[in-house]
Copies of this chain bind each other. A is one copy, B any other.
């Protein structure tokens, strides 16, 4: 029996300029839901392990979910799934803004892009209608300009996602941006390079098609009720008031935020770049994504000083971490400028910031020279050289060519001890959370399907005492320097987050679910689909999705040798501060994790595990 939600995808083969449509059975939808769940299923089924990430055969899959385009609070994101040119393995990247809802209102739950256009094109989806148009005139334009042009030419209600010059030049740290000047980004894993490799500059969506809901009235009433609750709790709390950097000053005290390319323990300047300071200085207003009732997004404007900025998207915590503390820069207006530059060029701010901190340290140690940088000198705490370097990376000028490949490849190009200065797992640069500050992060990073990712679990939030969604865990699992129970803790939160990402929910809404995220997810999902799904089945769905991502990586040649932290987390302590001496014993936690997950010691899921999750077919031939 089919309800309204069908997983309706439009497939576009850019080589052949062919359009086709597909939907999924209720059985598949219930197993993978949407978002990264369904995206992974499509990627797994339709590519083999040898796919060249930048070849026409790679798939670039845009995924919404059953709650996107509805009134359900904070479930309006979209997720990109593809094979990563940065890691050579599974990639996911997601973004808020209004593109997700626009996609669904245009009539689709997702888009599958394959092939490569002969010339630059853009795709428009308008109330079911699919069209490819020339993007010759847009090629070379930055993402804000593309957003402006789309609004002018496709109407104010249209929303687009696109790549900037970095994606066009196949930078492996290029992301996909959406909502023009609102500066929203599905940034990680080099998804922008995949879009660039297909000569696809942009996708614009608009429409007023109705999103199918099983119990529309009840769904809308429930959405209203929870919109008020969340708005009044999380939205009125520090996250809403001060944005994702609300706790930045505390992360410095705890030893969480990276400082001086992950090489120091304290940074006095953290006090100057936190959310509350931003609210007092450059903030003009809060920004709300589609369906959002929290409003953690920042809109900023800089009217005085050296780094002037028109009103626009402000930096998130991660950006402030990697472009601020990690470069020893404490000037908010400078960081806001870096943020806008990266947004316009379509660069992942996390990877770009970490790659630049790597470059500065390599320069300081004499491994990277002024000559290699076309005369540019790099120094800690110097915003001007950072601005120059962002330009060089986006334009692939001088050694910027290699930095645009990400810190792993750039460090290997430099050789010597340079690879020890690059902080990534399997090529994906760390977000602004240090595993030396919370052991669970180490396990998250080495086991996350996309590389160093703090969003595929969320356990550090407990470890740092920040609360977060509740499952049944003993207190000792929360000891940030302890090891007891970490394997189970991280595994289960990964499953919960995989479920969340299949519903394309904003993770901050978790704080508004009164400690019962599964109950609330069930509530919205049942009302939307009529599935009457149990909490146990929901958790198993998350587990299935996590395992399918892992099976995809295995298909791409992943082995447990890759489950390791970079040298800085192995042989170097922070030295001072709240996590001065800790080096996480990642291997110890990995042994717990594999056991809990029903995998062998080499990370290969057992037959029992695969059968239990209904992944016999997907596991076949791998084990």
Contacts and interface: CB of A to CB of B under 8 A. Distances in A.
A417 B560 contact: yes
Given A416-B559, A567-B560, A591 B583 contact: yes
Given A561-B567, A571-B601, 18 more contacts: A417-B560, A417-B604, A419-B561, A420-B559, A420-B560, A420-B561, A420-B602, A560-B567, A560-B571, A564-B570, A571-B587, A571-B590, A571-B603, A572-B591, A583-B585, A583-B588, A583-B591, A585-B588
A602 B583 CA distance: 15
Interface string A549-579: 0000000000111011001011111000000
Contacts of A416: 559
Contacts of A590: 570-571
B559 A587 contact: no
B570 A602 contact: no
A586 B585 CA distance: 8
Interface string A272-296: 0000000000000000000000000
Contacts of A502: none
A419 B560 CA distance: 10
Interface of A: 416-417, 419-420, 559-561, 563-564, 567, 569-573, 583, 585-588, 590-591, 594, 601-604
Nearest to A573: B591
Q: Which 10 A-B pairs have the closest CB atoms?
A: A570-B587, A585-B585, A583-B588, A572-B601, A583-B587, A571-B590, A417-B602, A573-B591, A417-B559, A571-B587
Contacts of A601: 571-572
Given A560-B417, A560-B420, A602-B417, A571 B585 contact: no
Nearest to A365: B602
A333 to B, nearest CB: 33
A559 B594 CA distance: 30
A262 to B, nearest CB: 11
Nearest to A585: B585
A574 to B, nearest CB: 10
Contacts of A564: 570
22 contacts: A416-B559, A417-B559, A417-B560, A417-B604, A419-B561, A420-B560, A420-B602, A560-B571, A561-B567, A564-B570, A569-B587, A570-B586, A570-B590, A571-B587, A571-B591, A571-B601, A571-B602, A572-B591, A572-B601, A583-B585, A583-B588, A585-B588
Contacts of A560: 417, 420, 567, 571
A568 to B, nearest CB: 8
Nearest to A582: B588
Contacts of A586: 570
Nearest to A603: B571
A567 B560 CA distance: 8
Contacts of A602: 417, 420, 571
A222 B219 CA distance: 96
A275 to B, nearest CB: 32
A412 to B, nearest CB: 11
A583 B587 CA distance: 7
Contacts of A571: 560, 563, 587, 590-591, 594, 601-603
A564 B569 CA distance: 13
A505 B560 CA distance: 41
A484 to B, nearest CB: 12
A89 to B, nearest CB: 16
Nearest to A595: B573
* From A417, A419, A586, residue with most partner B Cβ within 10 Å: A417
A575 to B, nearest CB: 9
A249 B588 CA distance: 27
A559 B411 CA distance: 13
A573 B561 CA distance: 16
Contacts of A585: 583, 585, 588
